[in-house]
Structure 1
Amino acid sequence: ILQWDGSGFWILMKRLDRDSFHWPDSPDELQKVTLKEMHWFCDGLSLTPKGAFEECHPKIVV
């Protein structure tokens, strides 16, 4: 990860003991991720785990 903090760049790296990160094979697989999903990714979790619930935000509260 290359990050600009206003005074210079930070290079963030993570070495995995097992397996590897899934990297997109084509432009169709690219997707935007939230900060929470980025934390999941850096922890080695899948961004689309089977059986996971989608986040739901109610629009009308009575």
Structure 2
Amino acid sequence: KFKLDPYSRCMFARCMFAFCNRRRTSIKILQWDGSGFWILMKRLDKDSFHWPDTPDELQKVTLKEMHWLCDGLSLTPKGAFEERHPKIVV
């Protein structure tokens, strides 16, 4: 549907694809490591994940934001510093 390549590399690391079920009680992460796929899954016994409300759209997130989602936080938790990437000039 999204026409993405799970075998691709993203910038400096391999791409990870995350999916959430409708009830938002489980997250699955798919990653190709060069010889096979890894599937990581986290299922909650209580509550639900603060997953974005855009089921038909893609959203790129940083590794830090993925950790936030897996820890039960939203993608924009209050008090979090904005991630910056300074340019290196030689």
Moved more, 16-25 or 35-44: 16-25
TM-score, with normalisation over the residues of structure 1? 0.64
Larger-Rg structure:
1
CA–CA distance in 1 between the matches of 2:34 and 2:52? 29
Do the aligned partners of residues 29 and 19 (structure 1) sit closer, same or farther apart at CA in structure 2, a change above 3 Å counting?
Answer: farther
Unaligned runs of 5+ in 1: none
Return 5+ residue gaps in structure 2 as ranges: 1-28
1:1-62 equivalences in 2 (<5 Å): 1-26=29-54, 30-50=58-78, 52-55=80-83
From the superposition, tell whether residues 50 and 2 of structure 1 become closer, same or farther in structure 2 (CA, over 3 Å): same
User: Which structure's residues are more often helix, by fraction?
Assistant: 1
| Matched-pair identity in % | 94
CA change 1:58–1:47 in 2 (3 A) is same
Aligned positions, number: 62
TM-score with structure 2 setting the length: 0.49
Higher strand share: 2
Q: 1:28/1:10 Cα in 2 relative to 1: closer, same or farther (>3 Å)?
A: closer
Q: CA 1:6–1:31 in structure 2 vs 1: closer, same or farther (change >3 Å)?
A: same
8 Å contact from structure 1 (residues 3, 9) kept in 2: yes
Instruction: Supply the distance in 1 between the matched residues of 2:54 and 2:69 (Cα, whole angstroms).
Output: 19
